[in-house]
Amino acid sequence: MSKIIWLRILFLLCVIALFSGCVEDNKEEGLVIAGSTTVQPIVVKAVEVYGKNNPDLRIGVQGGGSGTGIRMVGKGSVDIGASSRELSTEEHLKNPGLVTHSIAIDCLIITLHPTNPIEDLSTQQITDIFAGKITNFKEVGGPDRRIVLVIREDGSGTRSTFENMVMNNTEVSDTALQKPANGAIRFTIAGNENTIGYLGIGYIDDTVKAISINGIPPSKENIRKGEYLLSRELYLVTDGEPTGETKKFIEFILSDEGQILVEEEGFISMR
């Protein structure tokens, strides 16, 4: 091989080495968070504030539901999974190293269209409505309107929580409309007088109507005291104890500043 060819090869190797070093030096650190759409508003707000003090840290936030978030963090596809329910026995067995971190208190609110005059339902009435045994609001003291059920999709932590707390092993009617996110449920209820569904407290606004259960309204005080039926904790999930940027981000959400953001998003602080 001629001397010129060797010099060309040597020059090329030097360029590759130099380029690789530059890429490595400029590589940004990053976090990816995926899962519950209930937890998502907290995470998005925390990323917005945390990112201002950590401009070189790239943080991606995805939805997909609690089951998706737990599965992805177990596979190592994301750094943090977001969940609005505890891990199931199957999830624990499949990924025994998963660790949950409680970041906020939430509750599911039984929700109607604002024009519906119903103010309160009993637990049994709610069960019978979602099971399809009660099909008209007039059967529970409301207007003569056919009931349209709106629920979350399979794999949703919100749906799992509702069914565990309310349905008592009774199947939800197969006529229910399944929606992929809390926002989609709110949009559907706000646009249809015949609907009833459930939403995380952080999604309640004046486009929908929150009602009492067993005479107890879903106030923050009642939720904190555990008196409102559908209270629950929200979680971030890691594969093992968090380290590095993952640990710092979770610590930020649990800090005084982070818990203020939790309250600003309509949820209830762990403090």
Q: How confident is the model at residue 137 (pLDDT cuts 50, 70, 90)?
A: very high
Q: How confident is the model at residue 2 (pLDDT cuts 50, 70, 90)?
A: low
CATH code, residues 30-105+234-264: 3.40.190.10
pLDDT at 86 over 50: yes
Q: What's the length of the chain?
A: 271
Name the maximum alpha-carbon separation found in the chain. Answer: 96
Region of residue 84 (phi > 0: left; psi between -120 and 50: alpha; otherwise: beta): alpha
Q: What is the pLDDT of residue 25?
A: 35
Average pLDDT over residues 7-33: 49
Q: What is the pTM of this model?
A: 0.75
d(Cα 83, Cα 81) in Å, to the nearest integer? 7
d(Cα 120, Cα 217) in Å, to the nearest integer? 8
Q: Are 125 and 212 in contact (CB under 8 A)?
A: no
* φ/ψ of residue 245, rounded to 5: -65, -30
* φ/ψ of residue 139, rounded to 5: -70, -15
Taking only the tens place, the pLDDT of each residue in 186-228 is: 999 999 999 999 999 989 999 999 999 999 999 988 988 888 8
d(Cα 122, Cα 258) in Å, to the nearest integer? 35
Residue extent(s) of CATH 3.40.190.10 domains in the chain: 30-105+234-264, 106-224
Query: For the chain, how big is the Rg over CA atoms in Å?
Result: 24
Among 3.40.50.150, 3.40.190.10, 3.60.40.10, 2.40.30.10, what is the CATH number of 106-224? 3.40.190.10
